[in-house]
A and B are shown apart, each in its own frame.
Chain A
Amino acid sequence: MLPFLLKRIFTMILTALCLTFVVFYLTNLPPNLEKLAKSEAGSRITDDEVASWLERNGYASPMILRYGEWLGVVPGWTTADADGKVVAGRCIEKGQDPATAARFCGILQGDWGFSSVFKDDVSKIIGVRLTLTGILMFWVMVTMVPVSLLIGILAGMREGSRLDRSLSTFSISTAATPEYVSGVILIAIFASSITGLKWFKGSAASAMDGITFENFFLPVLTIALYGVGQVARMTRASMAEVMTAQYIRTARLKGVSFANVVIKHALRNALIAPFTVIMLLFPWLLNGVVIVETLFSYKGFGWTLVSAAGNNDIELLLGCSVVAVFVVLVTQLISDIGYVFLNPRIRIS
């Protein structure tokens, strides 16, 4: 188990380094930097002024060095005046004495940079936004997991029955409906003046101050619906497979009641596959979160990512991608480990 874990973690770190470098590379291409210089120093500056601004702010050194600085393994850049005295640098804040500043300041030291649009520390922004998204995800999970497992188990317990057919059609339809479609339909039905229902609000902007059923139900439902389809289909397939196993037949022939067979014998074995699917669904839910937060103008993590990408806010976008990549990789790791623990047939030697 331990060598397997170490190998997985090593691959994970390597993947994270590669991915963050790709994001760093793509966000730090010359056109992006030129745009940044123009938005920081004035849009009418000449090309020479752009070059000198980039030089002064440490953007002129090679890409790989700057990646190292951002990561915190290479000393931050500094600029010196004519006498060789350090006057500014990556790690030197305004008004700080250059001598007292740290040499390294990157992600590893907890310095995530400064957002050029929100004019605030990236770590602070991400912390606030992530909490908001966390609340959203919590409610999504609370609705999605029980509903989808129940649908999957009911459908898979008697394969081919009428209940199975109707539940399967339902889960196929929700799995075929992306969030931006179901969200639009839900808003049009429940929040527009056309149907006149107006049960819920079409915007979740007020949910950032206080969650009510009225302003939070639609966004949660929109994300959960898609996940329900996916997880229910997987649970159904796995349940249907387990129900044909020899030990289920034996238990039935012994005279155990159908309900008991399902609950005591089938469930545990049938829930292995859905567990990994739920874990692997996280990256996709991240997508859903971005879409839903944009659609319902709920200013969480997804909304921040979109606005950072749209406004060329390089440091914030880098911070967001670190979080996103981290979430994806950690859920992959958990699903692998969980699979091994839940399934006694798999032994890692």
Chain B
Amino acid sequence: MQDLGWSGILVGILKNFLPVWISLVVLFAVSIRYKRRLGLYGKLFDSPIAMIGFALVMFWVFTAIFADLIVTHDPLAQISQMKNKLPGTVQPDGANWYLLGGDHLGRDVFSRVVEGSRIVVQIAPLATLFAFMVGISLGLPAGYYGGRLDTFLSFLANLILAFPVILLFYLLVTPEIVETGMPQYMALVLFLFPIAFLMVLVNSRYYVVPEFRTKVLLVIAVVGGYLYLSLVGEVGTKVAVLPNALDIIHVPGNILIVFVSVVFVNSPTVFRIIRGIVLDIKTRDYVSAAQTRGERPWYIMLWEILPNARGPLIVDFCLRIGYTTILLGTLGFFGLGLSPESPDWGSTINAGRKLLTIAPHPAIVPALALMSLVLGLNLLADGLREESLRD
């Protein structure tokens, strides 16, 4: 066995991503075949830009799903002879190659980037979704009712927005603050919003069928409440509600903190967007019609205004996942929150940047990965915007 040249490296990488290529081809073939029946999603395949964006995003999603099949090495295993070795170097025992070289501790850069996509693809969309729930639950009433409520909530939102993001991260994610349990208390408040949102959503729609409504509400309250307590609480920390046997979701403390701070930073912007859209839509005729029919305010907000705001919201959702990815990377870059061992892209860039002028590949590979994902999301959002404007 000898070291690989550039073409050998390329072939090796392409071969390892085989499950991803197969999934991408199947997904695109099926989607293009049935695009006329798939609504807005199908329209994506009319625009080349949106298709490129979607392909980039799905590439990383599939990579995260099949990460166990793709990786060539354990992302944490260190081989000391492989420190800062160039891409394509063969292992000392000759069994395998480090396709994209080794980092400063002799770990495989390729496997770490693939494994890192898992963290990003899991946290970024979920955190964005939570931020949207918070933003929608507060933005709808602020825009619809206006008055004091609006003034107060807007002031709060502007307060958070005026905070330099990095300073906020430093303040929230330092060990001293974590010790006081503050991020967990924030999670306690922020994670309540999705449950409240779902309950109000169901309640306002099925208010007239009390029997059905009560059943659904109970299910949401029990399942949501259980997940909520399991997610927020952890035995041995400040917030420990459930005993260990019942606690099904074990989020490592630092991931929870990262998650909370990203949701916290994103929600005020979502709030402002929703508020602006509501201010515009509430003057429309169908809203007046609903008001004249005597519909209740939350029904109008959630079932008349919100569905009509979906276009800009979907576009912003895509953009915001990209922004959240950047924020996660920023946290990693400053070594905040996630453990230094973690293969996420921000932390890997941070670890690699010290030797940038001598061995740039450990930092370049995750940097390109992050860039391609965010670019894909931006292109997708751009394509969606154009396609949704067309009709």
Interface residues of A (CB under 8 A from B): 11, 14-15, 18-19, 22-23, 26-27, 29-32, 35, 172-173, 175-178, 180-181, 184-185, 187-188, 191-194, 202, 283, 286-287, 290-291, 294-295, 305-306, 309-310, 312, 320-321, 324-325, 328-329, 332
Contacts and interface: CB of A to CB of B under 8 A. Distances in A.
Contacts of A320: 167
B261 to A, nearest CB: 12
B379 interface: yes
Given A176-B375, A185-B364, A193-B357, A324 B171 contact: no
A39 B283 CA distance: 60
A284 to B, nearest CB: 8
Contacts of B162: 15, 19, 283, 325, 328-329, 332
B353 A309 contact: no
B159 interface: yes
Contacts of B166: 287, 290-291, 305-306
A176 B325 CA distance: 10
Interface string B156-198: 0011001111110011101111011000000000000000000
B371 interface: yes
B21 interface: no
Interface in B309-338: 322, 326, 329-330, 333-334
Contacts of A29: 176-177, 180
Interface in B218-277: none
Given A26-B171, A187-B356, A291-B330, A180 B164 contact: no
B113 to A, nearest CB: 13
A309 B170 contact: yes
Contacts of B334: 294, 306
B155 interface: yes
A180 B348 CA distance: 11
B371 A181 contact: yes
A184 B326 contact: no
Contact of B358 (A14, A175, A180, A193): A193
Contacts of A181: 329, 349, 367-368, 370-371
A334 to B, nearest CB: 14
A82 B163 CA distance: 45
A203 B212 CA distance: 66
A181 B174 CA distance: 24
The 8 closest A-B pairs by CB, nearest first: A188-B360, A309-B170, A31-B176, A176-B375, A181-B367, A176-B374, A26-B171, A178-B326
Interface of B: 155, 158-159, 162-167, 170-172, 174-177, 179-180, 322, 326, 329-330, 333-334, 346, 349, 352-353, 356-361, 363-364, 367-368, 370-371, 374-375, 377-379, 382
**Secondary structure at chain B's binding surface: helix, strand, loop or mixed?**
helix
Contact of A32 (B176, B357, B360, B375): B176
Contact of A305 (B167, B356, B367): B167
Nearest to B333: A180
Residue with the highest number of chain B CB atoms closer than 10 Å, among A14, A26, A27, A325: A26
A19 B155 CA distance: 12
A241 to B, nearest CB: 13
Contact of A192 (B176, B329, B360): B360
Given A181-B371, A202-B356, A306-B170, 4 more contacts: A18-B159, A27-B171, A184-B349, A187-B357
Given A19-B159, A29-B176, A184-B360, A295 B353 contact: yes
9 contacts: A31-B177, A31-B180, A181-B329, A181-B349, A194-B361, A290-B164, A306-B170, A321-B167, A329-B162
A286 B322 CA distance: 20
Q: Considering residues B163, B164, B358, which has the most beta carbons from chain A within 10 angstroms of its beta carbon? A: B164
Contacts of B370: 178, 181
Contact of A324 (B164, B177, B333, B356): B164
A96 to B, nearest CB: 32
B266 to A, nearest CB: 14
Contacts of A295: 353
A178 B374 CA distance: 9
A191 B378 CA distance: 29
Contacts of A18: 159
B356 A192 contact: yes
A83 to B, nearest CB: 38
Contacts of B368: 181, 185
Contacts of B175: 31
Nearest to B49: A169
A32 to B, nearest CB: 5
A287 B327 CA distance: 11
Contact of B163 (A30, A187, A325): A325
B349 A287 contact: no
Nearest to A180: B333
Contact of B353 (A19, A184, A321): A184
A180 B370 CA distance: 10
A167 to B, nearest CB: 14
B330 A178 contact: yes
Contacts of B359: 194
Contact of B179 (A31, A177, A325, A329): A31
Given A192-B357, A283-B164, A173 B375 contact: yes
Contact of A177 (B349, B358, B371): B371
A287 B165 contact: yes
B57 to A, nearest CB: 12
Contact of B360 (A177, A194, A287): A194
A181 B346 CA distance: 9
B158 A15 contact: yes
